[in-house]
Amino acid sequence: MEILKNKIKEYGVLISDQVLKVDSFLNHQLDPELIVDIGREFAAIFSQDEVTKILTVEASGIAVALTTAMELKVPCVFAKKNKPSTLQGNVYSSVVYSFTKNETVTISVAGNYIEPTDRVLIIDDFLAMGSASRGLVDIVKQADAALVGVGVVIEKGFQQGGQELRSAGVRVEPLVTIKSLSEGIIEFE
């Protein structure tokens, strides 16, 4: 996605040689046109896969998951962090470590929102070490649903999450892949 690459080049801010800040259009302030375009792109990539549900994790995955769900005309479910008391009954949970926040959280989805008949597409903003995606894959497995794949807006190819998921047989589709963030330069694959 050329438009996404241009946004990253113009507005992306390097926090370190590992972390890219995209708060001005994806992670804090949202660029509505771009978010809609991202949804269209994911929907086109997975158009033949009979997706019945989009799954993401709060909060930064929700916008792009929603526009993808709107294009594919399916519901969008987001895993909640730190299981609220309102989440009762049959609940699927998984433990996720965030290296950007240096914290471990339990993500949870109510059992009635993912069913064994579902074909689930996981959508998220970033793929880094893969912990968030692995947690969501784990929830899809607990629900006995079919996993279609993982769509991520930005994959950081120099971190091992994508490689590990692909080795485990998961289809991973990034819209852009970053090769390196070292020496203050954003290098795309």
Could you list the residues that contact ligand 5GP (CB under 6 A)?
A: 19-22, 27, 60-61, 98-100, 124-133, 156, 161
Do the Cβ atoms of 79 and 133 come closer than 8 Å?
A: no
Q: How far is the CB of 8 from ligand 5GP (least distance, A)?
A: 11
Kindly tell me the burial class for residue 167, based on how many C-beta atoms sit within 10 Å of its own C-beta (0-12, 13-18, 19 or more).
exposed
Q: For residue 34, give both structure tokens.
A: 């771009």
Q: Which is nearer to ligand 5GP, 71 or 157 (CB)?
A: 157
Q: Which is nearer to ligand 5GP, 51 or 65 (CB)?
A: 65
Q: Which is nearer to ligand 5GP, 100 or 142 (CB)?
A: 100
Q: Which is nearer to ligand 5GP, 82 or 86 (CB)?
A: 82
Q: How far is the CB of 57 from ligand 5GP (least distance, A)?
A: 7
DSSP strands (E only) in 3-112: 13-14, 20-21, 53-57, 76-81, 91-98, 103-110
Q: How far is the CB of 47 from ligand 5GP (least distance, A)?
A: 24
Q: How far is the CB of 181 from ligand 5GP (least distance, A)?
A: 8
Position of tokens 């109510």? 110
Helix (H) or strand (E) holding 126: strand 119-127
Q: Which is nearer to ligand 5GP, 38 or 132 (CB)?
A: 132
Distance from the first to the final alpha carbon of the chain? 12
Q: How far is the CB of 102 from ligand 5GP (least distance, A)?
A: 11
